[in-house]
A and B are shown apart, each in its own frame.
Chain A
């Protein structure tokens, strides 16, 4: 199942530094000089690979930074895309930016309550045991399904006439592509992360806290709502942000379920905002895909600009997760 980011502090290595104080023995400390040749080559490989990964990460960040600054003009953020011959005439990608935010909000709005509910059921109730096992496997399975398959399933669901009101229809054929469709399937992408995170939070609360609440006559539901879940706020936040990160970064579902446009394409009917949500649109990921040489637009400059904005959003989310973790650690835990 997907894992939250590494939070355990690194294990200090046995070779300690020379501390000050009385007559200290250094002598023959175990350094790698005494290992056999194969062992030393292994350590060299470790160093080489570690440094290589660092170098690649730095290269990616720097390159996107340079290209992004070169090509991103602020008006791109609030100008919708337009047709044009020169790339500089084609406007910006504001629709894509809003699209990302809309789809992220919808996805999380669906995934968060559902994920919390499932996690609560798994930890606090969980009867019958067979159903609990099946549910755990289901969540793991959903995490392992490629998003392109989720997208195809979404086309089946949302093309049905029963759900036709959620997207455009013409002559009795339901189009099936809309923000509703994309948002719903994207919530499945975030769901396993939220469930895993909230479960971890609930499991870390010792039993005596629950027993103290039951002992004064509170129901499980009230206990969960008033005591357990508020305590799990860091884990809920972490799960939500990890899910958000995956939603923002997903392209396959958007390409399939949101339509191949660059702008909003609202469906006339009920009025703002449902018109927009029922219609097709685009997000930053879809925009980058289309603007790249593989897509239909071939506007590499705007692709870099959009990619840069996308990367900034993802980095901001990562930093937020870090902050939440650090603050949670400071608060302290129960004595078990």
Chain B
């Protein structure tokens, strides 16, 4: 096995070469809410990951049942559904975190740029597909070290602080946190506010230069102001990375998602563009969920 290289090669594909968005998505009021979607529709998107007939079993229980979805750079894909519908499990299978649970079994294929992710070495995969969790989990170190940690552990030689500084600053900048922490990068990360901690976790995930960013209900533990900041951030990021976000907050999905996948009890019930799913969903169950008949 060849030694790990530092830093990992950048695999971001420029958007101009991608396919045009498959549907013309006019701005319109939906039946879901009277608020206008304020984000611009993506113009181009590129397929990065392909989820193909994936099922996940925890022992005898089937948590995800034969789901197929595309994940595209240039747009935000949101997985919605009531608790226990398998959306978090599906998200975690994208970077093979399900392997950490002992009785989990996965069948089907998941492709990253046409390569089966099970043929890629897990740590390498998890640098290309990074994840932000529901509870902010910054490491018990300084802000600088949290991000430098990701950069340092990529290679076998320990890089010096000066070398890492530009990368760290750029990651903080992309996460929109730079202004707030740049005066004191040695501040303990656990002393930041909840919203700042979550943005730090996003910065950390971005520091690995991923191609796909997975977010597991990132705002559910945060106040509305921080939530808005992070939502704006996510929309800004979609040009560079493919974003998959799990949320049980339907309004949030409406605000920021371009494509939405509704899951119920492990099944993929409907996959459509956001305006269509919230405006005129095809399936009855989607209609019921979106209008609040059950949660």
Task: Give me the interface of A with B, judged by CB distance under 8 Å.
Answer: 12, 14, 16, 19, 21-30, 33-34, 36-38
Contact = CB atoms under 8 A, between A and B. Distances in A.
B116 interface: yes
A150 B103 CA distance: 53
B56 to A, nearest CB: 11
B224 interface: no
Main secondary structure of the interface of A (DSSP, over half): loop
B122 interface: yes
Main secondary structure of the interface of B (DSSP, over half): mixed
A24 B3 contact: no
23 contacts: A12-B102, A14-B99, A16-B99, A16-B102, A16-B103, A19-B105, A21-B57, A21-B105, A22-B55, A22-B105, A23-B107, A24-B107, A25-B107, A27-B118, A28-B119, A28-B120, A30-B121, A30-B122, A30-B123, A34-B1, A36-B4, A37-B156, A38-B156
B100 interface: yes
Interface of B: 1, 3-4, 55, 57, 99-100, 102-107, 116, 118-123, 156
Given A21-B105, A25-B106, A30-B123, A36 B156 contact: yes
A28 B107 contact: no
Contacts of A28: 118-122
Nearest to B120: A28
B122 to A, nearest CB: 4
Contacts of B118: 25-28
A127 B57 CA distance: 54
Q: Across chains A and B, which 7 residue pairs bring their CB atoms closest together, nearest first? A: A27-B118, A36-B156, A30-B122, A25-B118, A23-B107, A16-B102, A28-B121
Contacts of A25: 106-107, 118
B103 A34 contact: no
Given A23-B107, A28-B120, A28-B122, 14 more contacts: A14-B100, A19-B105, A21-B105, A22-B55, A22-B57, A24-B105, A24-B107, A25-B118, A27-B116, A27-B118, A27-B119, A29-B99, A36-B3, A38-B156
A12 B156 CA distance: 28
A18 to B, nearest CB: 9
Q: Which of A25, A30, A33 has the most CB of B within 10 A?
A: A25
A14 B96 CA distance: 12
Contacts of B103: 16, 19
Contacts of B57: 21-22
A24 B98 CA distance: 13
A24 B54 CA distance: 11
A22 B107 contact: yes
A25 B109 CA distance: 9
A19 B99 CA distance: 12
